[in-house]
């Protein structure tokens, strides 16, 4: 068996040992013995030495008072194991998918591209033109409180210091003592929020990731990229070039979230500017200490006059302006006066920040001090090119029906008819007429409903911002060209003077299938083509399409939609940027970023891409500087490779087979989800779906409609609930039927060819295999035994049989004896975690049973939340 690296195992042992000491100190050695007994019983269950279900019986005997500390112990251990694993990946450059190989470096990739006759100039040009937007979203899967995350980060930092082989013994003991203290602090800190975070809280959490990790990681990564480019092309990365930039939905995503208002959006935009100014001010303070040189260029001398310390003189002016900016923003926030104009001296454009820094940089180089120029000064310039004055570009997201409601009310008020009843041709004619008209449409004294007023207020907030502060306006549930034109008209009516990108989000399978037709209609409109200036962005929804159609049919629908969108834009001479709304789990488009990017259709990654980074995956990928550097390297490498060496087009026989697989999977998935009368009652009985509403994960409600059924449930709790019981159903249901039917029809040679030669199908099968490795039918069966009425249990037996059959089918297709033969570290990581996960599953089922039968106490509810957090931590990509 492939074992985890010894250093990883040792760090897990050390962290777990300190946790045991902490628990013993508070609750006594007897309680630690109880935890150890539970762990040994879980191990015995796994190897079949425990036929009497002693683990379940032991945990059932626990009193309500014991449930919470037992759940906390296993939850904390799994979080500590994650810290050790992240540290290991950063130190040893392990790939995202845990293959037993090192992550490819930029130097290696550049050399490989040269060996394939790619010219150095093409590499440099592609990198400098590249635009990767990583969009942080607050989708509620990060269950840990921010204060705990900070302690975990400090533990990880201490592990980094232990890697220094030159530490004296007393220094090493000091670091170990610090780790012990942090683990003790974590144990005595409540894991679970007792109140939902506000959208502003979520935005602040995103700022913390930048302050604590990315502020350091970005210039370090660009230093590495610049050196690799100079080695291979002889040319540097330009000062104002940032292939990777960061955006956010936190405070801008109002789709189904009534807590995100225009006022909230305005506050978040101000807070982002304040955080950026504060961080730059710290940089300038450091530069004032460092740039004490007297020799300078004529350009710098002209700026500051005769002075002994010209660099410091220029930087003091910049420091003064940054301080003015901070003071002005603080005043607006404190007085709740968001409309106060900026006084003279306040920085309003990034160029006002970067130009003095560039003058210093050019002067140092001209005076033979390039080494000094390429120090902290260059780091600040790199940060400015990435984060600008606004830290994060804020996207706005709203559902298409809210825009329709605006024009329905407005047209009725103006006696123009009922917009909601107009067909697509009538809507387009009306919208385009108004877009071309110089007169305003919205009357000055119009008083719409509060819901409509909120949409208009949001557009007015947009109009007041600098274009640098904003990303895209994303329209969820976009169906027709009129959905895009409606937003364009709203922005015009609210005084938006710049062409903000308006982005349709195609989410359901039907909308994905029609997306190219919708875009084609838009690109035949002269006004629209003039407006977009040759750039079009389209968002592909992974979560809702998978919930709508099942993972396999959705994945193929997403692939075909991208192919067709690329062709439409190519015909019209428009550059297309695809925005991938990927979640953490496979059921929501998750998985290793490199594999996902290289599996996209040829031409769809043409130097630009936008990707959501959601929930706990933000911390796993960007929470530590070393990990963040690796993640950025993966994105740049994959986009470069996909742009210069795109994957092969699908062969006709592959396409025919995928069409059949997708149709079979869709039929099977919808029959189970939509047509089986007992499926929804089983889902609600077997999983903690209803209890998830009690877990204050994010600011957004779990359902789009408070009284809606499963169809109104958001994709995140839908997947989170199935993951908690280890059935992982959204990621595989339907695939089992489709692959089995192909197997029975003697398509095995073709499936193996597709898996070998087609990155799309290979990535799909890799993700499916990972899901099957994390799934566990026996765990799901236990939930059923404790929670599901007898008359519903046939549903569970059928689903578990289907899961078992799928595992056999996948092994046959892959010609393997066991799952994850090619990536054994995944299987080993799950095997190591199971003795800590299994007690949490048993505890959760017990707690759910007590909560439902007794209308549980606050103690039971708290313990239940801790089990959810622990299982999420143990399985990593849970939402």
At what angle are helices 759-774 and 748-757 packed, to 10 degrees? 100
Distance, in Å, from the CA atom of 369 to the CA atom of 578, rounded to the nearest integer, reads: 42
Distance, in Å, from the CA atom of 414 to the CA atom of 19, rounded to the nearest integer, reads: 68
Tell me the Ramachandran region of residue 368: left when phi exceeds 0, alpha when psi lies from -120 to 50, beta otherwise: left
Active site residue 139: yes
Distance, in Å, from the CA atom of 320 to the CA atom of 343, rounded to the nearest integer, reads: 13
Active site residue 393: no
Distance, in Å, from the CA atom of 458 to the CA atom of 395, rounded to the nearest integer, reads: 12
Give every CB contact of residue 410 below 8 A, 6+ residues apart in sequence.
419, 441, 442, 446, 448, 452
DSSP-H helix ranges across 234-377: 262-290, 298-304, 310-335, 350-366, 370-372
Residue 578's beta-bridge partner residues?
Answer: 538
Q: What is the CA radius of gyration of the chain?
A: 28
> Is the Cβ–Cβ distance between 758 and 575 less than 8 Å?
no
Distance, in Å, from the CA atom of 110 to the CA atom of 156, rounded to the nearest integer, reads: 31
Of residues 275, 274, 288, 363, the one with CA closest to residue 318:
288
Structure-token pair, residue 159? 């592990």
Give every CB contact of residue 790 below 8 A, 6+ residues apart in sequence.
none
227-264 residues labelled b (16+ CB within 10 A) or e (exposed):
ebbeebbebebebebbbbbbbbbbbbbbbbbebbbbeb
868: Cα within 13 Å, side-chain hemisphere:
33
> Is the Cβ–Cβ distance between 506 and 540 less than 8 Å?
yes
SS3 687: coil
Please tell me which residue in 87, 204, 492, 547 is annotated as part of the active site: 547
Structure-token pair, residue 422? 């107009």
Structure-token pair, residue 252? 């801008």
Q: How many helices (H) and strands (E) does the chain have?
A: 37, 8
> Is the Cβ–Cβ distance between 367 and 291 less than 8 Å?
no
Of residues 399, 411, 311, the one with CA closest to residue 363:
311
Distance, in Å, from the CA atom of 514 to the CA atom of 508, rounded to the nearest integer, reads: 10
Please tell me which residue in 34, 87, 94, 139 is annotated as part of the active site: 139
Of residues 489, 487, 473, the one with CA closest to residue 401:
487
10: Cα within 13 Å, side-chain hemisphere:
7
Entry field: residues in the chain: 879
Cα dihedral 844, 845, 851, 854 sign:
negative
Distance, in Å, from the CA atom of 80 to the CA atom of 86, rounded to the nearest integer, reads: 10
Q: Torsion over CA of 693, 694, 695 and 699, rounded to 10 degrees?
A: 60
Three-state SS annotation for 861-874: HHHHHHHHHHHHHH
Q: What does residue 541 show for φ and ψ, rounded to 5 degrees?
A: -90, 125
Q: What does residue 582 show for φ and ψ, rounded to 5 degrees?
A: -95, 140
SS3 504: strand
CA distances from 201 to 137, 251, 317, 692, 869 (A): 13, 9, 33, 20, 19
> Whole-angstrom distance between the N-terminal and C-terminal Cα of the chain?
30
**Which residue's entry shows tokens 């920040």?**
353
Distance, in Å, from the CA atom of 271 to the CA atom of 333, rounded to the nearest integer, reads: 8
Structure-token pair, residue 210? 């930048």
Catalytic center residues? 139, 547
């Amino acid at each position: 068996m492939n074992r985890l690296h010894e250093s990883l195992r040792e760090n897990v042992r050390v962290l777990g040992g300190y946790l045991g000491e902490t628990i013993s100190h508070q609750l006594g050695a007897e309680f630690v013995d109880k935890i150890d007994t539970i762990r040994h019983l879980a191990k015995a269950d796994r190897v079949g030495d425990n036929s009497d279900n002693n683990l379940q019986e032991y945990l059932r005997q626990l009193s309500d008072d014991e449930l919470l500390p037992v759940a906390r112990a296993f939850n904390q251990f799994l979080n500590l194991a994650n810290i050790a694993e992240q540290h290991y990946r950063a130190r040893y450059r392990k790939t995202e998918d845990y293959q037993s190989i090192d992550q490819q470096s930029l130097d290696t990739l550049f050399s490989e591209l040269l060996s394939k006759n790619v010219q150095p100039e093409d590499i440099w040009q592609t990198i400098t033109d590249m635009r990767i937007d990583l969009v942080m979203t607050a989708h509620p899967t990060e269950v840990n409180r921010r204060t705990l995350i900070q302690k975990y980060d400090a533990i990880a930092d201490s592990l980094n210091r232990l890697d220094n082989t030159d530490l004296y013994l007393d220094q090493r003991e000091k670091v170990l003592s610090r780790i012990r203290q942090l683990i003790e602090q974590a144990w005595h800190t409540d894991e679970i929020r007792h109140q939902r975070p506000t959208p502003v809280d979520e935005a602040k959490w995103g700022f913390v990731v930048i302050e604590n990790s990315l502020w350091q990681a970005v210039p370090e990564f660009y230093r590495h990229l610049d050196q690799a480019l100079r080695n291979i092309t002889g040319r540097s990365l330009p000062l104002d070039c940032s292939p990777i930039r960061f955006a956010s939905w936190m405070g801008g995503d109002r789709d189904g979230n009534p807590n995100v208002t225009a006022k909230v959006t305005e506050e978040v935009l101000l807070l982002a500017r304040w955080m950026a100014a504060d961080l730059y001010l710290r940089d300038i303070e450091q530069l004032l200490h460092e740039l004490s040189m007297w020799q300078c260029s004529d350009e710098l001398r002209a700026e500051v006059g005769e002075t002994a310390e010209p660099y410091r003189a220029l930087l003091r002016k910049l420091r003064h302006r940054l301080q003015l900016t901070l003071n002005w923003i603080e005043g607006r926030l404190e007085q709740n006066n968001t409309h106060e104009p900026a006084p003279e001296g306040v920085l309003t454009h990034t160029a006002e920040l970067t130009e003095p820094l560039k003058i210093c940089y050019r002067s140092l180089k001209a005076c033979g001090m390039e080494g000094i120029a390429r120090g902290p000064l260059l780091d600040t310039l790199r940060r400015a090119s990435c984060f600008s004055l606004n830290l994060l570009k804020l996207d706005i997201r709203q559902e298409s029906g809210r825009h329709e409601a605006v024009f329905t009310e407005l047209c009725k008020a103006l006696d123009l008819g009922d917009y909601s009843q107009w067909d697509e041709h009538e809507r387009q004619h009306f919208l385009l007429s108004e877009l071309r008209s110089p007169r305003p449409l919205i009357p000055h004294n119009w008083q719409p409903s509060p819901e409509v007023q909120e949409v208009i207020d949001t557009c007015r907030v947009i109009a007041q911002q600098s274009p640098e502060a904003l990303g895209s306006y994303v329209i969820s549930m976009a169906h027709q060209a009129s959905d895009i034109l409606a937003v364009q008209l709203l922005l015009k009516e609210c005084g938006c003077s710049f062409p903000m990108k308006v982005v349709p989000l195609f989410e359901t399978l039907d909308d994905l299938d029609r997306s190219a037709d919708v875009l084609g209609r838009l690109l035949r409109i002269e006004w629209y083509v003039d407006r977009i200036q040759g750039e079009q962005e389209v968002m592909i929804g992974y979560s809702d399409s998978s919930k709508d159609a099942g993972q396999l049919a959705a994945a193929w629908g997403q692939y075909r939609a991208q192919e067709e969108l690329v062709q439409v834009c190519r015909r019209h001479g428009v550059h297309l940027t695809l925005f991938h709304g990927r979640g953490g789990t496979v059921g929501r488009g998750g998985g290793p970023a490199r594999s996902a990017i290289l599996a996209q259709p040829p031409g769809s990654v043409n130097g630009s891409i936008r990707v959501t980074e959601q929930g706990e995956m933000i911390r796993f990928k960007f929470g530590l500087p070393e990990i963040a550097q690796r993640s950025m390297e993966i994105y740049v490498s994959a986009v470069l490779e996909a742009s210069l060496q795109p994957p092969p087009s699908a062969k006709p026989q592959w396409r025919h087979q995928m069409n059949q697989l997708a149709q079979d999977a869709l039929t099977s998935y919808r029959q189970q989800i939509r047509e089986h009368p007992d499926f929804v009652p089983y889902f609600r009985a077997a999983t903690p779906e209803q209890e998830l509403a009690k877990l204050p994960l994010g600011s957004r409600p779990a359902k789009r409609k408070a009284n809606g059924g499963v169809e109104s449930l958001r994709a995140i709790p839908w997947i989170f609930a199935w993951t908690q019981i280890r059935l992982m159903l959204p990621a595989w249901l339907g695939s089992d039927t489709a692959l089995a039917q192909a197997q029975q029809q003697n398509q095995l040679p073709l499936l193996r060819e597709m898996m070998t030669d087609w990155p799309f199908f290979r990535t799909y099968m890799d993700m499916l295999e990972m899901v099957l490795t994390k799934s566990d039918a026996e765990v799901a069966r236990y939930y059923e035994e404790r929670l599901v009425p007898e008359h519903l249990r046939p549903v569970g037996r059928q689903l578990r049989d289907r899961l078992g059959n799928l595992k056999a089918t996948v092994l046959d297709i892959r010609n393997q004896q066991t799952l994850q033969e090619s990536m054994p570290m995944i299987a080993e990581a799950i095997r190591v975690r199971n003795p800590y996960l299994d007690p949490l599953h048993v505890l959760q089922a017990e707690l759910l049973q007590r909560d439902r039968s007794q209308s549980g106490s606050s103690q039971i509810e708290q313990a239940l939340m801790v089990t959810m957090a622990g299982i999420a931590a143990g399985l990593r990509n849970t939402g």
